[in-house]
Structure formats: C-alpha cells, structure tokens
C-alpha cells in the first residue's frame, strides 16, 4: 500500500542535543510537509517542500531545519532541542499542481526532551 | 488571517445517539475544506474534501456539509469505534487546522 512512513515513532533526546526525524513516502507526491502538534492543539505547519523548493513558515524557529534529498525522503533537524520542542511531529504529503489536494499524514514521531 | 474554530471541544454520545460537529471558518478565498479523523498517538486520517457551499459528502455513518461560513460533520447512529478527534482544516494560502473535537461514544 502507498503510504507515508515516519521513523522513529518515539524519540527521546537530551536538552540541546541535535536530533533528526525522518519521513519517507511511496505516494510519489510532489509536496512534503512537516507539522508540529502539541497535546490537544491543532497541527502547526513548520515548512514544506514543493519538489525541491523549500517554503518556511514565518514563525518557524531557526532551530528547525529540513532537508529533502529526493522525492521520497524528507528530514526534520532540530539543532538544539528545548523542553518546549517536545511534541508530536507529523509528516504529510500531497499531490501538488493545479487544484486543491488533500494531505496524507504519517503516523507521527513523538519527541521527548529530557 | 485565516481562522478555524471547532465546536464543541469535546462531545460524549451514547451509541446510536446522532449528533453534529461544527467547523466555523474565516478565510480569504476558500480553496477547499478538509475533515480528518485522528486517533490518539497517530497521524490524521483523511475523510472528506469540500470545495463549495452546498456540497455534501458521505462515508458510512459520517456526512460532511459546507456553507459559506461553516461546515458540519454529522454522525448518524455512532458506534464506539467512531471515538476519535475530528479535525477540520481550510485551504486558503495554506492549510490551517482547527483544534479539533474529541468525540467519545459509549456503548
């Protein structure tokens, strides 16, 4: 089945220790997104890639970076995690192009910062 | 700024007790409204897309409707397995999510 895969599902890191979360997709979608979701809150868009074009949200902290080495993979790097960065991180994909396309989400990575 | 407000925040229903969830929105140029279901500890699962006022979509016990200011997700004769958080999102310049409605259906 075509899908969005996130690894790891659970990640524990120490305060200030860099961490990388990964996302892969078999849908061959043009657009990949990273969201942060804290408990009982709406998902918050951090940034997205349309093919190789990177689009950063204005309020995304510089501490968050992303890489998309190819169509299938996208990475979220948190350079110096703080306690406030503990959250669920969701990767999503959509077809892109003309029209309005639904986004398909992965299962998420739960990040804990100690 | 695009905004999405969902109500109620939480809803408890008895099995078989039909109800509706509300999604009110303000957006400059609606390109689409999406409903998602999210189970605890999982990513949102796509349910419906609505594009224009008057449009309706159905899937099993769920029916989504759209007006120019709000969308409703009607749940008919719910079962315990319908328990989840239901998220609404509007696509203006980007996808903006509401905080969701937590639905609990008791048998």
Please write the tens of the pLDDT for every residue from A72-94. Answer: 999 999 999 999 999 999 999 99
Rounded to the nearest angstrom, the minimum Cα separation between A26 and chain B is 16
**What is chain B's mean pLDDT, rounded?**
94
Q: Is the pLDDT reported for residue A14 higher than 80?
A: yes
Residue that wins the pLDDT comparison between A109 and B28 = A109
User: Most B CBs within 10 Å: which of A105, A106, A112, as the mutation test of the B interface?
Assistant: A105
Cβ separation B34–A102 shorter than 8 A? yes
Cβ separation B49–A41 shorter than 8 A? no
Sort out which chain B residues have CB atoms less than 8 A from A7's CB and list them. Answer: none
**What is chain A's mean pLDDT, rounded?**
93
For B2-54, how does the pLDDT look when each residue is reduced to its tens digit (9 = 90+)?
Answer: 899 999 999 999 999 999 999 999 988 888 999 999 999 899 999 999 999 99
Across chain A, how many H-helices and E-strands are there? 0, 11
Q: Is the pLDDT reported for residue A22 higher than 80?
A: yes
What is the token pair recorded at B83?
A: 């328990």
Mean of pLDDT values over B76-81: 97
Q: Determine the Cα–Cα distance for residues B36 and A19; give it in Å rounded to an integer.
A: 29
Rounded to the nearest angstrom, the minimum Cα separation between A5 and chain B is 11
Residue with tokens 């349910």: B47
Cβ neighbours of residue A58 closer than 8 Å, sequence gap 6 or more: none
pLDDT band at B61 (very low <50, low <70, confident <90, very high): very high
Residue-level pLDDT at A102: 87
Q: Which of A3-7, A19-23, A39-43, B56-60 has the lowest mean pLDDT?
A: A39-43
Residue-level pLDDT at A100: 61
Q: Is the pLDDT reported for residue B57 higher than 80?
A: yes
Q: Determine the Cα–Cα distance for residues B55 and B36; give it in Å rounded to an integer.
A: 17
pLDDT band at A2 (very low <50, low <70, confident <90, very high): low
């Amino acid at each position: 089945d075509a899908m969005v895969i996130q690894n790891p599902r659970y990640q524990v890191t120490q305060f200030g220790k860099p961490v990388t979360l990964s996302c892969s997709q078999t849908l061959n979608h043009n657009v990949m997104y990273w969201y942060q979701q804290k408990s009982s809150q709406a998902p918050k868009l951090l940034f997205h890639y349309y093919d190789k074009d990177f689009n950063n949200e204005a309020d995304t902290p510089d501490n968050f970076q992303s890489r998309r080495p190819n169509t299938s993979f996208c990475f979220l790097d948190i350079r110096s995690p703080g306690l406030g960065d503990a959250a669920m991180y969701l990767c999503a994909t959509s077809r892109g192009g003309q029209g309005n396309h639904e986004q398909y989400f992965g299962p998420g990575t739960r990040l804990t910062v100690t | 700024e695009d905004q999405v407000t969902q109500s109620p925040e939480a809803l408890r229903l008895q099995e078989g007790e039909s109800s509706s969830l509300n999604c009110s929105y303000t957006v400059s140029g609606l390109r689409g409204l999406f409903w998602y279901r999210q189970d605890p500890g999982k990513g949102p699962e796509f349910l419906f897309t609505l594009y224009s006022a008057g449009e309706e979509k159905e899937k099993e016990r769920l029916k989504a409707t759209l007006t120019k200011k709000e969308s409703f997700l009607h749940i008919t004769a719910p079962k315990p397995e319908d328990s989840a958080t239901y998220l609404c999102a509007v696509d203006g310049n980007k996808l903006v999510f509401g905080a969701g409605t937590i639905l609990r259906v008791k048998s």
